[in-house]
Structure 1
Amino acid sequence: MKEKQFVFGVDLDGVCADFYKKMREVYSDWKGVPQEALTKEVSYGLPEWGTLPDEYSRVHRFAVTQRELFSSMDPIKGAAQSIRRLGSEGVRIRIITHRLFIRHFHETAVSQTVRWLDHHAIPYWDLCFMRDKDLVDADIYIEDTEANIRCLQDADKEVIAFTNSTNRNMSPPPKLRANDWNEAEEMVRQRYYAFLDSHGMPKPEAPGHVPSQTL
């Protein structure tokens, strides 16, 4: 019988990849305004930057096709290292991202995503491009978009809200919140260890290392 694995569902934009930093750079170019004129405190859809009705999709298309958005973003501090440690301990990393909403550019979005993950040495077993993330199974998720956090919670999924300006003032607040990857990593590890205990499986000898019995 195949041994059950603990699955960590990981969002990319705003959680692992610094989406809003890159979009600020792109939008500055798009509008011809200095980056300093664009606030860092944004909400979903970037209305604080004066985005016109139906303009966001055009800016996003420009970012992906002309500025290689998905392969050029900086990683959020600590994300790659935390995911590598958890993966080395035996956590199954399942990337769940919604990047296929621009028609006819799916190949571009997928190839940029894979290139970015490989370039930053972020391990994963599964790569899922999904809008409805609650349809993808995981033991715990990490997400920054408020609507997705709510949807996962409503589906009785355990989800860590990764703090940024788009979700900082959620009301009611999320059940779980991490302000950085150190906090997120520890939350996942605690639940992973509880999972191992419940299945009579050995714990890693130290964070970032698989148990010697499984080597």
Structure 2
Amino acid sequence: MSFRRDTHPYVVLIPNNAFARHLGDLPQGTLCRAVAYLDRVLTVRPVPSHDEALRLVAAAAVSLADKYEQTSSERRLDADVVEEFVGTTVAAVEAMERELVMDLDCVMDGPTAFTFVERFTRFFKRKDEFLVRTLALRLVDLTLPEFRFVGQILPSAVAASALFLARQILAVPLSNHPEELTGYKAVELMGCIEAMAMLMPEPKP
């Protein structure tokens, strides 16, 4: 039995994956890239619906993204960790990584919402502007488990929406207006911004 990418909340496997959490100290943007890999892969291959297979594909996507984001890393998968959190072997994860690379046509870069936030804010200099950038990146992270964002909205639009919303929340006047930074008008992003705002946790009383 397999599932289609439009009928299963598959992206929940990445940001909430115990394997990813256990790795810890992942470079910024790793989970965003892993979700992008998984979204692309699921356009070309059916994935069995049982948990074991899903964990294997998710773990391989996280591991690949980790390798891409820190190319000088000497991190190696730990056999005990793979067995405990993925339920398989290091060899199986590495074999799945090779399959994913082929599914991705060896194209491992490509922009993500995370990289677009970095691009839009690359000229920020003030401390309060960096706070806007940090909040925008956190807002992008909130969208990762949500299929209505991943694969449905352009990464640049997700990033721009996060920047607009972060600026509004923090009430920080940026050196350049978000429309100049992103190339998007607020009215074009209103649906995305509103959906993103709904993902924010309720403030504690």
TM-score range, shorter chain: 0.3 to 0.5
Q: Which of the pair is proportionally richer in helix?
A: 2
Normalising by the residue count of structure 2, what TM-score does the alignment of the two structures yield?
0.34
